[in-house]
Amino acid sequence: MKLRSTVAAIAGVVIALTGATAANADDTPKVDRYEFAHISLGQTFDKTIARFDSKGTQVETYKEGGYAHQIRAWQVTTSELGFVYLDLVKVNGVWRVNGKLAAWLDGPKQTTDKMTKAEYRSFAKGATIAEVRAIAGTAGRTQIELRDSETKTLTVEWPVPGSEYGYTSVDFTWKDGAFRVASKTAVWG
């Protein structure tokens, strides 16, 4: 879908918007995890504005399948580089959410329970998110969320022992009723 291909091209625009001050949930134009979670596909843009406290910034318009679309961007409360994109489609004169993407970019939560190399090696493609979390002993921190009519994906990161900046990153795709490992990477140093 157009939303996925647009992310890299317009990330610079969103990063340029990071001059605002820190925000508290529910009363600023920055988006937090709770607000993002409460945006549903098909929801009207008016309801989205009420939830996000802002119209965001329009970064692209296009036509697809005879429908007008616009992509809007917001800053997030979790990091200066994070962003939320919504793909809106105009149906019967009303703008509705067609897809949503959040890149929180706040890194893995540094917990005392870190994912070890043995734990990392013990799960493979197809494992469920619940299985990976059980192996790691912690939920990890969701870094990227994408939802549209075709795709549901999550990227979750875990800290690693012995490194303040090391992490494991696991991409999950919705399949057979659960989020399942699609790929994984690790930075141990």
CA distance 189 to 32: 30
pLDDT of residue 3: 47
Say yes or no: 96 and 121 in one domain. Answer: no
CA distance 8 to 80: 17
CATH number where 67 lies: 3.30.1450.10
169 in any annotated domain? yes
78 in any annotated domain? yes
User: What stretch of H or E contains 60?
Assistant: strand 57-64
CA distance 175 to 168: 22
pLDDT of residue 107: 85
36 in any annotated domain? yes
Say yes or no: 90 and 128 in one domain. Answer: no
pLDDT of residue 13: 36
Q: Within a 10 A sphere around the Cβ of 21, how many other Cβ atoms?
A: 6
pLDDT of residue 22: 34
First-to-last alpha carbon distance for the chain, in angstroms, is 35
107 in any annotated domain? no
For the chain, give the mean pLDDT.
87
| Residue segments in the chain with a per-residue pLDDT below the cut of 50 | 1, 3-26
Alpha helices by DSSP H, 74-153:
117-121, 129-136
CA distance 155 to 144: 5
55, 71, 100: which is the final residue of a domain? 100
pLDDT of residue 28: 73
